[in-house]
Structure 1
């Protein structure tokens, strides 16, 4: 099976979810980068072009509002408006 040339970034604080995402996605895509720390998003975006970013919406334990994810989405769009 050939891999899609796309580059994917998965950002989530759940290590198990990142492992599962990496194991599944690396079968289908050329580059799969997983990251637990959303603070690293700006440097990652400055060093690599991603075709898809899968972003957790809550990084604080027991948070459910999605505010953190929306904040990071805004920062991503400031860095790369075409993201």
Structure 2
């Protein structure tokens, strides 16, 4: 869950408590890279606007792109209080799985999260181990700006092992 308002974090956590194992929260799209590197999630909830007075959804779209680059199988639900049909359409074209307006009804939020988690599971079940390995390596290289040593450490590999796997996947 990435949203700049602590009360939204609390409301989401309370609504989802009976249905999910845990909800991790962050207040800014700047948290996307470390969150994606730290864990594998079943679903992401993402606000569209983080700056006061901003209504374009630009920050949310950028964060959506970062999430999908790190894990293309992860279903992302975008949320905003300032929704427009064009923003919803654009977010879906860029890979979001759903779009919710704030304030939401809890049953709608729960249903959206359950469906997003199901989509993530289905996408991951259809993904081969080679594709997952390639994605993990590409993500590590991207997060470390192409630094082989840092990417190898992050992946728990030696540099020669990372070079072999990069060659295998054409990276």
Identify whether the pair has TM-score above 0.5, normalized to the shorter chain.
Answer: yes
Task: Flag as ranges the 4+ runs of structure 1 deviating above 2 A.
Answer: none
**1:25-45 per-position Cα deviation (integer Å, ceiling 9, x unaligned):** 122101211111221111111
How far is 1:68 from its partner?
0.7
Match of 1:44 in 2: 35
- Taking structure 2 as the reference length, the TM-score comes to 0.41
Task: Verify: 1:18 aligned to 2:9, yes or no.
Answer: yes
- Taking structure 1 as the reference length, the TM-score comes to 0.82
| Greater relative contact order, per chain length (Cα 8 Å cut-off, separation 6+) | 1
**1:24-72 per-position Cα deviation (integer Å, ceiling 9, x unaligned):** 2122101211111221111111111111101000011110011110010
Task: Verify: 1:54 aligned to 2:45, yes or no.
Answer: yes
How many aligned residue pairs are there? 74
Match of 1:5 in 2: none
**Structure 2: which 5+ residue stretches go unaligned?**
75-171
**Structure 1: which 5+ residue stretches go unaligned?**
1-9
Q: Quick one: distance in 2 between partners of 1:45 and 1:14? A: 21
